[in-house]
Structure 1
Amino acid sequence: MAAKRRKVFQIGFNRCGTRAIARFLEHHGYRAAHWEFGQLAKDLKQDIAEGRRPLGGWADFDVFTDMELVDDETCIEGFREFRALHEAYPKALFVLNTRDVETWLRSRARHAEGVYLQSYRKHHGLPHRHAVLDKWRRDWFEHHLDVLDYFSGARRENLLLWSIERPNFKGLSVKLGHALDEAAWHQVGSAEADAGFPRVF
């Protein structure tokens, strides 16, 4: 019987290599659930609201990335539920994926040709594009501080910081307990191309 793989939850923002993380770990034999047309976010929110184990219906998967859904009717940012996820999966690895914040803002503002930004603006009742960017910038720093504060002390073993500009392959290898093929790391989509990496579709 194959050894059970450690669960991995990506808990940084979208447009920070979320798909690349999923594909990289899939290359190493992990089964990844990436966005799934927003179903990950919906299930996570409903599970927590109804007192069930978060993402219990996705037990066959090892890796969870891009757990959000943003449109005119819905705004679910499941990566913010890292506390509930850690409580349910105390041995899991939580990956705080990050990049240069201003480059991230430009990428996120262009996501889905600007539709994502407009949906977010309408959902939060913000008056214009610049108000959205200001909120995103504040959210970025607040979320990073929240994650670092929560995963301190004994919980620090559960956290890995992952910069898409400077991937910590050695750190990830140690956390997962096996060697990684660094050559398999590919940046996927326009967000990663912004950072100077090749697109892989």
Structure 2
Amino acid sequence: MTATPADADATRDLLAGLDPADGHLAALHARFAASALDAGAVDVAYRTLDSPVGRLLVCATDVGVLRVAFELEGHDAVLDRLAATVSPRVVEAPSRLDDAARELDEYFRGERRSFDLPLDRRLSKGFQLTVLEHLPDIGYGSTASYAAVALASGSPRAVRAVGTACATNPLPVVVPCHRVVRSDGTAGNYRGGMAAKQTLIDLEAHA
């Protein structure tokens, strides 16, 4: 039987209601996630992580990391959008994201300067994808202006479009749009908020 969005919503609501302090329910949740993964019944796995920029939601498919979301985006809203646009088979399955959790933890401790994670870039298209693929070329601890990124992306007049591409980056932190700043050196807008962007810039500057 094919899973429906309603089935996925009901399952996620049920699992979200489990008390993490209850060992039996936590074990049930873990068994459910493991069984779903083994059965190939999970298209999008997710987990949450604590970080210096707040609690992050990290989602992945079989291809790679699909989405990183900040708390202010509303984690439930992000999961609902993924269920509607990618697949309704969205399940909290932390084990699938162990590598992502480890690399993010290393990054936030100042021990990692680039990510080796496979990425699922299906949420980015056209010029946005071109911009985002260029961002890892901006070195750790360095910044580049929106104008410089537009030039490097082959469209020197598309400064505003670069800003939009960065502001809607589905993979913040991992794809370092926080390194793109205004020409006057001020931070500019950021999906996770101005404070989060400055925190990341400062973290890399002092690592």
TM-score interval (norm. to shorter): under 0.3
Bigger relative contact order, structure 1 or 2, given CA contacts below 8 A and separation 6+? 1
**TM-score between the two structures when normalised by the length of structure 2:** 0.25
**TM-score between the two structures when normalised by the length of structure 1:** 0.25
In our comparison, the structure showing a higher alpha carbon Rg is: 2
